[in-house]
Structure 1
Amino acid sequence: MKKTVILCFLFFGMLTAQSQELNWHTDVKEAISIGNKEHKPLLLFFTGSDWCGWCIRLQKEVLLTPEFAKWAAENVVLVELDYPRRTPQSDEIKKQNGELQQAFGIQGFPTIHFANGSDKEGKVNFEGLGNTGYVAGGPLAWLAVANEILKKK
């Protein structure tokens, strides 16, 4: 009996963990398509995942929390635009991310832009809604800033 109860707890625990797992897109055109179908803006996370201390801190304090996961599922399509130093990336992703870094004028990490996107005849266009970065105070403080930005959409 004890084994059955333990197995049930483990099983439901895994389901809960999986339900809070976020889908971070790396292909911007795919993310735009999903955003347009779901009528949600993109959250573009410009990060140096394997070297940027503030990026890692933002991940731990906000982006990996249940509060953020719930909010993100309801409000945005997540896009990670990574600029790693040690982690390999395909040439296509490097090219895409470099172009987006230039298009959005990214000069520091982490930077998060909220935008609506369109992809017409292979040309990607964005309507910027606002941007933020690391916000001290955990997920609730960060989400308050994000919600203010999204009110403008």
Structure 2
Amino acid sequence: MKTLFSTIVMVVLTVGIHAQSRLENAKKTASENKELILLNFSGSDWCIPCIKLHKNIIETDEFKQLESDHVIVYINADFPRNKKNQLSAELKKENASLADEYNKKGLFPYTLLLNEEGKVLKSWEGLPSENALAFSKEIREIREKSK
């Protein structure tokens, strides 16, 4: 009986600890490398502005260079609706936890630039009006100011 109880407690604790692992890992990496965290809430298979954001900004070389240059750590909190695109239960729970903390209004797309402690420095509601180059440049400028 003690073994069963111990096992249940360990599982609950492990799930609870893992629920914020991407954000916690991002905070650690950002702190070590003097980076910012870009957290994007999207509906990858139903939200047209989200799909455009990913295609026109996040999947571009200019944006990817932000990660390569250690300017940002990128986290995508995705909320797909189609059955074939469903995430693991663990990832769904983590994304819901991120939304509870950072996206209480349930906006899509919603993009946040955070410091290494998770404090919001800038937010974009909906599809940013900038192109990938201007979006990336703005992030670089915010990083320089926050040093």
Q: Which residue of structure 2 aligns with residue 83 of structure 1?
A: 79
Q: Which residue of structure 2 aligns with residue 141 of structure 1?
A: 134
Q: Which residue of structure 1 aligns with residue 37 of structure 2?
A: 42
Distance 1:35-1:137 versus aligned 2 partners, 3 A rule: closer
Root mean square deviation, CA, Å: 2.1
TM-score between both structures, scaled by the size of structure 1: 0.68
Unpaired segments of 5 or more residues in structure 1?
Answer: 1-25, 119-125
> Residue deviations 1:85-115, cap 9 Å, x none?
1212122211111121121134311111111
Q: Hey, which of these two has a bigger chunk of helix by percent?
A: 2
Q: Which residue of structure 1 aligns with residue 115 of structure 2?
A: 116
Q: Residue 128 of structure 2 aligns to a residue in which SS?
A: coil
Aligned length, in residue pairs: 121
TM-score between both structures, scaled by the size of structure 2: 0.71
- Return the alpha-carbon distance in structure 2 between the equivalents of residues 79 and 106 of structure 1: 19
- Whether the aligned pair in 2 keeps the contact of 1:46 and 1:110 (CA below 8 Å) is yes
Percent identity, please: 29
- Whether the aligned pair in 2 keeps the contact of 1:27 and 1:93 (CA below 8 Å) is no
Q: Which residue of structure 1 aligns with residue 123 of structure 2?
A: 131
Unpaired segments of 5 or more residues in structure 2?
Answer: 1-20
- Return the alpha-carbon distance in structure 2 between the equivalents of residues 47 and 113 of structure 1: 12
Question: Aligned letter for 1:103?
Answer: E
Alignment of 1:1-153 (within 5 A): 27-74=22-69, 75-86=71-82, 87-104=85-102, 105-118=104-117, 126-133=118-125, 134-153=127-146
Distance 1:32-1:112 versus aligned 2 partners, 3 A rule: same
Question: Aligned letter for 1:109?
Answer: F
Distance 1:137-1:100 versus aligned 2 partners, 3 A rule: closer
